[in-house]
Amino acid sequence: MKKAILFSGLLTVTISVYADVGSHWGYSGDVGPKNWAALSADNFACSGKNQSPINLTGFIEADLEPIKFDYLQGANEIINNGHTIQLNYTKGSSIEVDKQIFNLLQVHFHAPSENHINGQSYPLEAHFVHANEGGDLAVVAVMYQKGIPNQGLKVELDKTHRKTIRSDASPNKTLKQIWSVMPTKSGEKYELTEMINLKAILPKNTDHYRFNGSLTTPPCSEGVRWLVMKDAVTVSTKQIDGFSNVLHESNNRPLQAINSRFVLE
Ligand SMILES: [Zn+2]
């Protein structure tokens, strides 16, 4: 393992280089989503009836309790595991759902989004993964959309060439902070010593949809509480591209059949 100290503007990080541990499954070819269940006996759930992601639609009115977010600033490391960029958390941040505390374990990203809302895909989705004392999982999903043209865009006129030059819509500051220390190679992991304010990558309004699903990566374990934020967070096109350029391929599992499940709102 190599270690180095790197000063990157806002964050001081320690770099560690590990062997790639996640290369036995992927998003295309023989190890792609269609074959996940067949790749290993451990992945039997991948062919289950309550799988994620889904197209959230046909909502059922329910009195969903607001999620109580208790997020502390800070993450202890950021890793490129070959499938996504992931921030790992030490104990201390949590949400309260169903009168139970679910501790935040990690936050990671998918581009394009895995879940769809009313048939709509988004360019980026974050998954905030939590577990309660019994090991039950709860995932908060947040959609990110590109800045809308002419809202936060700077339009300039080049008098010589009569061209309109547009700058990008405003970037999200916290996402910028995370992307600035994003390990670019599979297996790379940095220790983080500075604070990351996760609340800034959640929408202000945390009204959500809820359904029963699974992990979207092998072993696709079911019994996961999915809490999908109704409001998307606006980020710049550059930030969307910045993530995709590091991963080199789309890391979204295709939509799964909803079967006999309901989506509550
Ligand atoms: Zn995910």
Q: What is the pLDDT of residues 87-119, one digit of tens each?
A: 999 889 999 999 999 999 999 999 999 999 999
CA 237 to chain centre: 16
In terms of DSSP bridges, do strands 137-146 and 222-229 run parallel, antiparallel, or are they unpaired?
Answer: parallel
How does pLDDT run across 176-199, given as a tens digit for each residue?
999 999 999 999 999 988 788 899
β partners of residue 192: 13
Q: Above pLDDT 90, what percent of the chain?
A: 75
Does residue 257 have a pLDDT over 50? yes
CA of 146 to the centre of ligand 1 (A): 20
Among all chains, which residue has been given the structure tokens 């998003």?
Answer: 27
- At 219 the pLDDT is 96
- Section 27-33 average pLDDT: 96
CA of 212 to the centre of ligand 1 (A): 15
- At 148 the pLDDT is 64
CB–CB of 41/204 below 8 Å? Answer: no
- At 98 the pLDDT is 96
Q: Active-site residue 83, yes or no?
A: yes
The listed CATH number (3.10.200.10, 3.50.50.60, 3.30.110.30, 1.50.40.10) that belongs to domain 3-247: 3.10.200.10
Bigger pLDDT: 5 vs 242: 242
- At 65 the pLDDT is 96
Model pTM score: 0.86
CA of 124 to the centre of ligand 1 (A): 11
Handedness of CA 166, 172, 173, 179 (dihedral sign): negative
- Pairwise CA distance, residues 175 & 194, whole Å: 14
CA of 6 to the centre of ligand 1 (A): 28
Bigger pLDDT: 11 vs 245: 245
Q: Above pLDDT 70, what percent of the chain?
A: 83
CA of 215 to the centre of ligand 1 (A): 7
Does residue 1 have a pLDDT over 80? no
Find the catalytic residue in 83, 108, 130, 208: 83
Q: Which two tokens stand for residue 258?
A: 């909803």
- Section 165-174 average pLDDT: 71
DSSP string, the chain: --EEEEEETTEEEEEEE-----TT--SSGGGSGGGHHHH-GGGGGGGSSS-S--EE-S-B---PPPPEEEPPS--SEEEE-SS-EEEE--TT-EEEETTEEEEEEEEEEESS-SSEETTB--SEEEEEEEE-TT--EEEEEEEEEEPPTTSS--EEEETTTTEEEEPPPPPPHHHHHHHTT---STTEEEEE-S---GGGGS-SS--EEEEEEE-SSTT--EEEEEEEESSPEEE-HHHHHHHHHHH-S---PPP---TT---B-
CA of 126 to the centre of ligand 1 (A): 7
CB–CB of 246/182 below 8 Å? Answer: yes
